Structure 1
Amino acid sequence: MRVLLTSSGITNDSIREALTGLLGKPIAEASALFIPTALLPFPGGPQMVWKAIHGPLGDLGWKSLGLLELTALPSIEETAWVPAVREADVLLAYGGDPLFLADWMRRSGLAALLPQLRPEAVYVGVSAGSIAATTTFAETYTDPPRPLDGTPVVFDGGVARTLVTGEGVGLVDFAVIPHLENPNHPDATLANAETWASHIAAPTYAIDDDTAITVTDGVVRVVSEGQWKLFQPIDRGQDPECS
């Protein structure tokens, strides 16, 4: 399976070209399934789901677009949803709560299914959808989900949060910190990202909303019209090809 991890979706021509390159065909010829699950833990989640589906990611001009809600899958027969996942060209995992999303990817059976999908199928992550695809990650919470405990931290700018580490589904062997230097995400400064990454025992990419990471056959490439930084643990691998 090929992977495209983004901060805010397909935000520029470079990321769009990366997506079509992974697909090997125009977006208009590709079928997609939209996964909104990470939005559900938030107040107003149903409204946010509607807006997300009808937002830029859903309106790229897909040949077909379906909805895959992971919390519903354990209550229905696999024959009702597994064929649709196997046949889709793209899985679009939207943002929200990465701990919630990673948990439901496992509980629904999707995580176990992903390695069995066609090599040319593409997983597209947005924010939490990107974070949950990793092997290990860290996220900050004002009030961490119970029964999780975390490390109290005060980030650059005096923002107090609790840093919680989590286990993703392991599509990639690095971590992602999205929304770098986005004023709507005040935690995501470069200084804070360095603190965050120091708690993750894996290479960690901090990416802004104009940056994406592709993985094809184990080859990692950063595609960017913006800002990004790799925090690399000592003696861990090499820098990726960049464009």
Structure 2
Amino acid sequence: MKLLLTSGGINNKSIHGALVDMLDKPIAESTALCIPTAMYGHPWVGPGVKAWEFITGNPGNPMVSLGWKSVGVLELTALPSISKDRWVPLVQDTDVLLAAGGDALYLSHWMQQSGLAGLLPSLKAVYVGMSAGSMVMTPAIGEFFVGWTPPSGSDDTLGLVDFSIFPHLDHEMLPHNTMAAAEKWANGIQGPAYAIDDQTAIKVVEGDVEVISEGNWKLFWP
């Protein structure tokens, strides 16, 4: 499984280059499915206009608008109501999954309910996450990021990597996402934890972890 876990999407040359390396072929020859599900669980980004903007790559979405051979929509909340024969082959044949930001616990819940979570480790596709779309792959998100509450009441996510992520470090529109706040958050995380800004991504290929950055980041150890 190949993961490219970003804070703000594919928004600089270094992260773009890492994506192309992981695909092993040009973006123009690669098929993509975008996953907007996390947006619906977060009051800032969905439902409505911003979900449409993500899906259409308008305006200039730094994931969907990269020039893919084709882009489809994989809405996880719909999958439990249709036969797996209708969507599993589609996911297995695609080159990249593009997961939007929003609410990580909402996304985790629907990845599990839909069956996609169990399918992910066996896929050939590159998984590209933005914000919550990245955080969902970690063991837990920490109380700082809890919004939508799952039936379990836990902040646990999928645990497909062994580290946690604090995204949007020092973002101008998120005054509480400071390095000091990230350090306090990391103290409550049971394992390594990265604070990353929007110019940073974490590349994971067969368990090997590499930070790709033109910005600011920090790794906290427990």
TM beyond 0.5 = yes
In structure 2, runs of 5+ residues without a counterpart are none
Q: Are the structure 2 counterparts of residues 197 and 58 from structure 1 closer, same or farther at C-alpha, using a change threshold of 3 Å?
A: same
Q: Deviations over 1:74-106 (max 9, x none)?
A: 000000000010001101111000010011111
Deviations for 1:150-172, whole angstroms, at most 9, x for unmatched residues?
xxxxxxxxxxxxxxx62221221
Matched, 1:78 2:67: no
Which of these residues, 41, 51, 54, is aligned with residue 53 of structure 2?
A: 51
Instruction: Tell me the residue number matched to 2:140.
Output: 136
Deviations 1:26-67 (A, max 9, x none): 111111110000011245413221011222311100011000
Counterpart contact for 1:134–1:172, Cα < 8 Å: yes
Aligned to 2:221: 232
Which residue of 2 is the match for residue 21 of structure 1? 21
Matched, 1:89 2:95: yes
Q: Secondary structure at the match of 2:16?
A: helix
CA distance in 2: counterparts of 1:141 and 1:225, whole angstroms = 24
Q: Gaps (5+ residues) in structure 1?
A: 150-164, 234-243
TM normalised by structure 1 equals 0.84
Work out whether 1:12 is the aligned partner of 2:12.
Answer: yes
Equivalent of 2:182 in 178, 187, 193 = 193
1:61-210 superposed matches below 5 A? 61-118=67-124, 121-140=125-144, 145=149, 166-210=155-199
Distance in 2 (alpha carbons) for counterparts of 1:232 and 1:141: 19
User: Following the alignment from structure 2 to structure 1, what is the Cα–Cα distance between the partners of residues 195 and 146?
Assistant: 21
How far the C-alpha of 1:142 sits from its partner, in A, is: 8.4
Contact 1:32 1:66 in 2 (8 A): yes
The change in CA–CA distance for 1:199 and 1:181 in structure 2 (over 3 A counts) is: same
- How far 1:117 sits from its partner (Å)? 1.2
Within 1, Cα distance between the matches of 2:162 and 2:67?
A: 31
- The answer to whether residue 35 in structure 2 is matched with residue 39 in structure 1 is no
Bigger relative contact order (CA 8 A; separation at least 6) = 2
Distance change in 2, residues 1:57/1:143 (3 Å): closer
State the structure with more CA Rg. Answer: 1
Query: C-alpha separation between the residues in 1 aligned to 2:19 and 2:117?
Result: 22
- Distance in 1, matches of 2:146 and 2:205, equals 36
RMSD (Å) for aligned C-alpha atoms: 1.7
Q: 1:60 pairs with 47, 66, 83, which one?
A: 66
Greater strand share, 1 or 2? 1
* Residues 15 and 200, structure 2, Cα contact 8 Å, conserved in 1: yes
Residues 34 and 8 of structure 1: CA distance in aligned 2, closer, same or farther (over 3 Å)? same
Q: How many residues of Structure 1 are paired with residues of Structure 2 in the alignment?
A: 216
Q: Could you tell me how far apart the structure 2 residues matched to 1:85 and 1:109 are?
A: 12
Percent of residue pairs bearing the same amino acid type = 54
Kindly provide the CA deviation profile for residues 114-169 of structure 1, in whole angstroms up to 9, marking residues without a partner as x: 11212xx21101000000011222153686637676xxxxxxxxxxxxxxx62221
Change (3 A) 1:12 1:146: closer
Distance 2:110 2:188 in 1: 24
CA distance in 2, matches of 1:100, 1:50: 18
CA drift of 1:195 comes to 0.7
Q: CA deviation at 1:25?
A: 1.0
1:48 aligned counterpart, secondary structure: helix
> How far, CA to CA, are the matches of 1:3 and 1:146 in structure 2?
24
